[in-house]
Structure 1
Amino acid sequence: MSFANIYRKEFKWNLRSFIIWTTIFVAFALMYIPLTDQILQQSEAMLKFIEKMPKLLLQIFSFEPELLTKPEGLFGSEGMSFVYILSAVFSSMLAGSMFSKEFEQKTIEYLLVKPCSRLTVFLSKLSVMFSFILILAGTFTFFEIRLFDAFVTQEYSVRILYAFGLYALTVQVFFAALATMISVIVQKSSLNTSISIGLIIFMYFGDSLGRSFENLEWMSIISIFRYIPLIDTIKNNQIMLGNSLIIILISGVFLLAGGLIFSRTDIKL
């Protein structure tokens, strides 16, 4: 079985799930962005309410009062927090479908007994996974920018909107790579999902806790969300491009480890 045959098979099997996830991302943008102007008109009352909220809660959901007066700040401080979580869950589940689910259902045996190397199988699956990730990140960024252009009348930074797209891609690549490594180790989709979701929650909320409490700072240091901060990006009008590239390179290490484990894994009967 060739690289192209495996690619087509995996693409077809996961296409339906991918379409559902893409619809969720687009629907979220459609639900949120068109209301931006209306929410900004009520920003004064909203700011008074937010000032009374606990500081920790504001940090968890990236609330920063001064940012809520900007269209991109409003979407970035609230909407992108959920996009981060959705991106991480999507990529983790996609990796699980590509690898641990195949081991669990024994369909991996069919591929591994075919006259093609394990490296070909592994790279074919990765190609499909990252094709979906790139398409989803591109689709989200396209709709994000077009919806801002169509519905937001106040001045905003397109540069920041592109940063949001880059960060969503970075999160997806990282958790896809991490879940791939986990999948080939545990070989069970339910266990992969549990571990991956646990790591997502730990990193996301650990970053907020680490920035709030000095004795928990280590939780923030090991979280990728610390290095692609939404608030700093909007306030400083600065894209954390270098940090994003480093996170993607770290993801490559996870993929390399996953590939080595996959190439040496015995088929369990």
Structure 2
Amino acid sequence: MLIFIRELKRNRKSFIIWTASLVLFDILMMSFFQSIADNTKMYDEMVKGFPKGMIEAFGLDKISMSTILGFFGTECYIFITLFGSIYAMLLGASILSKEEGEKTIEFLLAKPVTRSTIVTAKMANAFFYITLFNIIFAFVNFLMFETVKIEEYSKKAFLLLSIGPLLLHLTFVAIGLLISVFIIKAKSVYPFSIGFVLVMYFISIMSSISEKLTNLKYFTPFKYVDTPDIITNERIEPIYLVIVFAIITVSIAATYVFYNRKNIL
């Protein structure tokens, strides 16, 4: 419990910065919805002028920015999932490695706690912050939806658009946690984590614009919670849920195994 509380204090500042920055951006973007909705024809014509690949990459062939769900999906959801995933990956990948990088792991291991206890406390801390991060976004988004809406929207789709990022971010936290076992230098965490998330996002885009690469969607978590599919079908595909929970479970289990076997001292 002491380790968990220590990690809460340790990661509080970054949580506040990431959350506040993205929430402010989210509010700013959602405040433009009514002006977009009032000029639907103009924006529809503008979208038609986009390259086909761009339209397919962002799902503009399936959803419209003239609806509040479509606008949120194209303007806000992408940033929440992308930058939220970077935050999640950084949090997960640094939470164990920072102890070795800052030479504080000896202090922890000198206490009457097992390595598994350390992993559990740090993992719980990361999951707590990511869950809180998404709860705050869901609450803010609901308030913004109710404030700027010009017609009713599917509450089920909204709920899924709130759950989707949580699943995505938990996936990246779990992957990051596993990676943190093998990264010692804290400076290496940032380029690797950001690069990994961006590669996953790039693969997601490529699977959307090329039929030959469509099967790549199974290799990137971003496609598991894709906006157009959620809004159009009002569900997250069961196969994607299975993959998400499998990745999280395997990553967590592997973290315990490798960290307990790791030669630290």
TM-score range, shorter chain: over 0.9
Shift of 1:202: 1.6
Partner of 2:64: 67
- For 2:7, which of 3, 10, 13 is the aligned residue? 10
Q: Deviations over 1:4-51 (max 9, x none)?
A: 111111111111111111212321221112221111111211111111
Size of the aligned set, in residue pairs, is: 265
- For 1:54, which of 43, 51, 64 is the aligned residue? 51
8 Å contact from structure 2 (residues 29, 75) kept in 1: no
92-101 vs 64-73, which moves further:
64-73
TM-score, normalised with respect to structure 1: 0.91
Please give the root-mean-square deviation of Cα atoms over the aligned residues, in Å.
1.8
8 Å contact from structure 1 (residues 92, 193) kept in 2: no
Partner of 2:260: 263
Shift of 1:65: 6.4
- For 1:79, which of 73, 76, 93 is the aligned residue? 76
Classify the secondary structure of the residue corresponding to 1:16: helix
176-185 vs 206-215, which moves further:
206-215
8 Å contact from structure 1 (residues 228, 244) kept in 2: no
Shift of 1:105: 1.3
Query: 1-side partners of 2:186 and 2:54: how far apart?
Result: 32
- For 2:191, which of 180, 184, 194 is the aligned residue? 194
Residue segments in structure 2 that go unaligned for 5+ positions in a row:
none
1:237 counterpart letter in structure 2: E
99-108 vs 54-63, which moves further:
54-63
1:77 counterpart letter in structure 2: T
Residue segments in structure 1 that go unaligned for 5+ positions in a row:
none
- Cα distance 1:207–1:40, how it changes in 2: closer, same or farther (>3 A)? same
1:173 aligns with 2:163: no
1:69-108 pair list within 5 angstroms: 69-108=66-105
Query: 2-side partners of 1:211 and 1:147: how far apart?
Result: 29
Query: 1-side partners of 2:34 and 2:243: how far apart?
Result: 35
Query: 2-side partners of 1:155 and 1:242: how far apart?
Result: 30
Query: 1-side partners of 2:63 and 2:90: how far apart?
Result: 36
TM-score, normalised with respect to structure 2: 0.93
Q: Tell me the percent identity.
A: 27
Query: 1-side partners of 2:63 and 2:81: how far apart?
Result: 21
Shift of 1:137: 0.8
- Cα distance 1:28–1:245, how it changes in 2: closer, same or farther (>3 A)? farther
- For 1:141, which of 126, 138, 142 is the aligned residue? 138
- Cα distance 1:96–1:227, how it changes in 2: closer, same or farther (>3 A)? closer
2:209 counterpart letter in structure 1: S
Query: 2-side partners of 1:190 and 1:115: how far apart?
Result: 30
Partner of 1:30: 27
Shift of 1:199: 2.1
Classify the secondary structure of the residue corresponding to 2:235: coil
